[in-house]
Chains A and B, each alone.
Chain A
Amino acid sequence: MSWVRATLLARGLSKAWGGIGGTPLPGAPFSQGPLQAPRGLHCGVAAPREETSLAPRPPEPPRKPVQAPQPHAELFGAPGADRSKGSFLRALQSFSQYSVRRRGHVDFIYLALSKMREFGVERDLAAYNQLLDVFPKEVFRPRNVFQRIFVHYPRQQECGIAVLEQMEKFGVMPNKDTEFLLIQIFGRKSYPMLKYLRMRLWFTRFQNINPFPVPRELPQDPVDLARLGLRHVEPDLSAQVTIYQMSLPNDMTRTEEATKPHIVGIQSPDQKAALARHDPARPVFVEGPFSLWLHNKCVYYHILRADPLPPEEREVEEIPEEWNLYYPMKLDLEYGRGGWDDYEFDIDEVEEGPIFAMCMAGAHDQATLAKWIQGLQETNPALAQIPVVFRLSGVSGELLTPTGMEEPTGPFSESHQDTDDHQQPQQQSHGGS
């Protein structure tokens, strides 16, 4: 009895939490981080095949709780109407015209902030400046020392900070116009202004902090995306990307048999040489999928690798006697480097086997990957003699994949925020070898 009640209570609470997240509240309107689904598994495949299908899902619970109508929502038009920068700016203008005294502007700004992704202007500096322009000017500026000491018009200041925070979140650098607006609205000694100054300082410092930058706009084509991802994981710049199979165009008559997932592979010359040297008696493994996040997209890759050689079989690289025509490659001395000049740290290194190639494919089943291996055999004849073992596991790297979002269809929608009581997908691990 008490157990049942506890469950119900928990459900209720979580729903309530979802509700809070869904309703724009001042202070922490985006604290929950929109859970946009990453590009799911099988994104390139129309329908999952039998061996790749996930376990049957439980019936989906009703997803949209009834929401209170928001003020000014009508300004942004009905869902499905024109969604562009122009229409967003028009909505802002019509608000200014609609209420000359800007009544309810804080609510409106929060609403507009939440709508920005929908309109695709979340990275648009001009849109943010327009949005800040909604604030009435000069009203919230502190006029005496006491107002300056205490937070003057806290709700408005928080709203201003919320705008700046959203800019920060999307990496939009405020400019002089923003500064001018903020001074006009809140004055020089205000919290939004402080936020602005900090952004100006730290944004520049952190802008290039990532040593492995990813382009802001990810390519839409899965093949291009795979190419980008593979280049991202492969450090060797001489590595060659090969497209082993293009996915069929998305025509109407697609059947399960006709679906051909794309296969894009990468291999560096060193890897090619290592594979050619590989002892055919030892198997190589196709492993994966492993996840790789590019911004908010998750892609999966597979590797072709072998186990490290046992120490007794390792060949010590010897310097051949007659190698260099010009100078001796080794000195015939009995002593090595002195201890005081040995700056190598004492590191325990975990031995890993060599990786021979990597690929990204539209599907993660054995049939697709076998095609990749076939393609590899053309450039690596040695691979024909080596037994290949498929050790495929379920997708494991992705964080909390919500079901029903295999292909995130649209941009950010509110429904994603309150679906955290879904059951996690039961993932089936594909058979090994």
Chain B
Amino acid sequence: MRALGKQAASEQIHRSKKGLGLAPGAGRWRSRDTGNVPGSEEAKPNGSREPQAPPDAGEAQATDVTGPRRLSPAHAHARRPGRSFAALGGMSLRALLRPRAAAAALAGLAASRRWLGASARNRAFAKELFLGKIEQKAVFPFPEVSQDELNEINQFVGPVEKFFNEEVDSRKIDREGKIPDDTLEKLRQLGLFGIQVPEEFGGLGLSNTMYARLGEIISLDGSITVTLAAHQAIGLKGIILVGNEEQKTKYLPRLASGEHIAAFCLTEPASGSDAASIRTRATLSEDKKHYILNGTKVWITNGGLATIFTVFAKTEVIGSDGSVTDKITAFIVERDFGGITNGKPEDKLGIRGSNTCEVHFENTRVPVENVLGEVGGGFKVAMNILNSGRFSMGSAVAGMLKRLIEWTAEYACTRKQFNRNLSEFGLIQEKFALMAQKAYVMESMSYLTAGMMDQPGFPDCSIEAAMVKVFSSEGAWQCVSEALQILGGSGYMKDYPYERLLRDTRILLIFEGTNEILRVFIALTGLQHAGRILTARVKELKRGNVTVIMETIGQKLRNSLGRSVDLGLTGNLGVVHPSLGESANKLEENVYYFGKTVETLLLRFGKTIVEEQLVLKRVANILINLYGMTAVLSRASRSIRTGLRNHDHEVLLANMFCVEAYFQNLFSLSQLDKYSPENMDEQIKKVSQQILEKRAYLCAHPLDRTS
């Protein structure tokens, strides 16, 4: 299942050189094209969600990879097909990037071997939490970028921010339901259509961290964010992840330039997350040179604008035993192949400027070369694309919230009631603290995750990315709603941008996997990991091994006597700064008892825990809190130690969040206990069962009488 994930991971091996202070050499964070390495495609046993690349395969890849890398500048120049480099404001991002590429490429080869040696020690942070352990090296210290890189990022950010502040008219985009052509053209010139496309294919080739940073700015307009994300985070991502060299050469340059826009066609009327009910079908033509594609896809972002589609369809696959099965295959489909029509653009609640519509395929002839990945391997492709695109929501929302805090603070400090400014009222102040705290946490989580993803040999961050998505989307909705509360009536009026923000924010909870689905994903993936490792222990316990049972009971007794948990975050050589010591202890305690609870849950439910969605929700909630706590502790410690501006403010926010999350976690943990009085699951299930049976609200009207 993760063969593809592995490959995706290997592409990121080279991205970070200084990220965690591990890699020597002066380089920049660049995502890069690895080429299609067939050796890495060998299938892992299905159901395994734990990619551990064998070192030799990784190395082969790495050496393979450096070849094109060194050539990249030349390639990049050669393959940019007649595109204007006229920079916005005299300077294009790409132009900024170019001169350094060669140096980076040279450094790549030297550095790659050492990274691989170092990568073996890294283990997924979130998964270890399920075992009650904190994988310190993955999250401490907080990922940093070098001064050079920082300058470079700021150089990108400057023009983009200027453009978004001065030229993008979000209100008009929202009202007219369309992004104007000149805005799109400017976005193209800025290179924002190819942020993560490798340089040799004409993109900016930015690392995940840089992508997150740019996302902060782009998020000033929801419609543009979604349009760009649909284009590059999912639309063309498949080509980057699993496309072969010809496909990349053929499609990526023009996609990166924005000449072509990509769309991701997965959802169907009958199929949301259920891949088995995909009805779109691709049949091989008689000459075996084409697939004939038929079907309908709904809610396709960019469906009306796109000229390149990543389409998932059922194909017949002949198995090794000669049996014919239907499997999903991914295709790159050009609009010019014919037979592609659009429905009219959907009228949406928010992100109205983005184009969403149905896409119909009718006898579209797709050449066999355009199969993305393997025939029948589309499921993995889709999963990888979806998993890889989520982390950026955190920084995007944080960027939006920072802007929102400025707006509302301005209002609160000028609006007078009872001869006092709004800002003097406690209930208003509280809301600002909440917004700042949420923004701080999601920013920390987002950049920590991006740093992890940029780290060499640290591939699978899908749980972390999903956690960032869940936390930031819910934080966004909550904060925008609170902001509207501060603004009172003017927040509700169309004359101000706030109601648009509220509408735009609502989609975040829904797309890229609804938060409910992602919670289940987070919990189950972690439980699967913990369950495997704990198998032996659980078996002994179930068999009634006296020593193991006595051990467990002894441990429980000691825990109940109130031992203090020390996982080594604090203390003399601790990674957390002493001013955050209390919070770090809280995190340690939470992590320890979370590990114990996970063990109990596995013992109680075993594999049937899949059906216990309310339990899974709590597990995910705890994990998200734990990850948030870790992120803020890590970031605040770094800020204190490096003496960043206003780090005392960060300490306040970090401590505030940790205390809050700690008590939330304690509550959730106690709910997960057996026979817990706080746990109302049975009643909840009963109530909903009765309602759903009648499909109505059941209670009699309060004014009803029986006589």
Contact = CB atoms under 8 A, between A and B. Distances in A.
A338 B383 contact: no
A331 interface: yes
Contacts of B513: 326
Given A323-B274, A323-B275, A325-B273, A333 B707 contact: no
A204 B705 CA distance: 9
Contact of A327 (B46, B520, B603): B520
Contact of B707 (A173, A320, A324): A173
A340 B604 contact: yes
B686 interface: no
Interface SS of A by simple majority: loop
Interface string B683-707: 0000000000111000010000011
Contact of A330 (B379, B538, B610, B695): B610
A406 B518 CA distance: 64
A204 B707 contact: yes
A76 to B, nearest CB: 30
Interface string A320-358: 111111111111111111101100000000000000000
A334 B535 contact: yes
A331 B327 contact: no
B707 A335 contact: no
B289 interface: no
A191 interface: no
Contacts of B275: 322-325
Contact of B695 (A237, A336, A340): A237
A67 interface: no
Contact of A338 (B517, B527, B542, B610): B542
A325 B707 contact: no
B528 A328 contact: yes
Interface string B526-568: 0110011001001100100000000000000000000000000
B419 interface: no
A331 B531 CA distance: 9
Interface string B603-641: 111111110000000000000000000000000000000
A97 to B, nearest CB: 33
B273 A338 contact: no
Nearest to B693: A235
Interface in B201-252: none
A333 B531 contact: yes
A208 B704 CA distance: 12
A328 B525 CA distance: 7
Contacts of A325: 266, 273-275, 379, 382-383, 386
A332 B47 contact: yes
B521 A326 contact: yes
B328 interface: yes
Nearest to A235: B693
Interface string B659-676: 000000000000000100
Contacts of B693: 235
A344 B524 CA distance: 24
A117 to B, nearest CB: 23
Interface centre among A330, A336, A338 (most CB of B within 10 A): A338
A207 interface: yes
B675 to A, nearest CB: 11
B538 A335 contact: yes
A329 B49 CA distance: 13
B57 interface: no
A49 interface: no
A203 interface: yes
A192 B46 CA distance: 78
Nearest to A237: B695
A331 B610 contact: yes
Given A173-B707, A336-B608, A331 B379 contact: no
Interface SS of B by simple majority: helix
B602 interface: yes
B707 A200 contact: yes
A270 to B, nearest CB: 14
B276 interface: yes
Contacts of A326: 273, 383, 386, 513, 517-518, 520-521
Contact of A321 (B47, B525, B607, B609): B47
Classify chain B's interface size.
Answer: 35 or more
Contacts of A337: 604-606, 608
A87 B384 CA distance: 83
Interface residues of A, number: 30
A386 to B, nearest CB: 26
A328 B527 CA distance: 11
Contacts of B674: 341
Contact of B327 (A207, A322, A338): A322
B535 A335 contact: yes
Contacts of B609: 331
A332 B524 CA distance: 10
A350 B602 CA distance: 33
B612 to A, nearest CB: 10
Interface centre among B602, B606, B700 (most CB of A within 10 A): B606
A203 B707 contact: yes
A331 B606 CA distance: 9
B706 A335 contact: no
Contacts of B328: 322
A328 B275 CA distance: 12
Interface centre among B276, B513, B538, B608 (most CB of A within 10 A): B608
A335 B513 CA distance: 29
A325 B273 CA distance: 5
A332 B47 CA distance: 7
Contacts of A340: 604
B604 A338 contact: yes
Nearest to A341: B604
Contact of B276 (A203, A204, A320, A341): A320
B305 to A, nearest CB: 24
B465 to A, nearest CB: 13
Interface string A202-244: 0110011000000000000000000000000001010000000
B269 to A, nearest CB: 16
A125 to B, nearest CB: 11
A340 B700 CA distance: 38
Contact of B603 (A175, A235, A338): A338
Interface string B423-436: 00000000000000
A174 B383 CA distance: 68
Contacts of A207: 706
Contacts of B538: 335
A389 B627 CA distance: 64
A338 B602 CA distance: 9
Contacts of A336: 606-608
A377 to B, nearest CB: 25
Nearest to B522: A327
Interface in B65-83: none
Given A322-B327, A322-B328, A327-B525, A203 B379 contact: no
Interface in B322-363: 327-328
A335 B517 contact: no
A328 B2 CA distance: 13
B387 to A, nearest CB: 9
Interface in A288-315: none
Given A328-B528, A337-B608, 10 more contacts: A321-B46, A323-B276, A325-B379, A326-B386, A331-B528, A333-B602, A334-B535, A336-B608, A338-B605, A341-B605
Interface of B: 46-49, 266, 273-276, 327-328, 379, 382-383, 386, 513, 517-518, 520-521, 524-525, 527-528, 531-532, 535, 538-539, 542, 602-610, 674, 693-695, 700, 706-707
Interface of A: 173, 175, 200, 203-204, 207-208, 235, 237, 320-338, 340-341
16 contacts: A200-B707, A204-B706, A207-B706, A325-B386, A326-B513, A328-B524, A328-B525, A331-B528, A331-B609, A332-B528, A332-B607, A333-B535, A333-B607, A338-B542, A340-B604, A341-B674
Closest 5 CB pairs of A and B: A327-B521, A204-B706, A322-B379, A335-B606, A336-B606
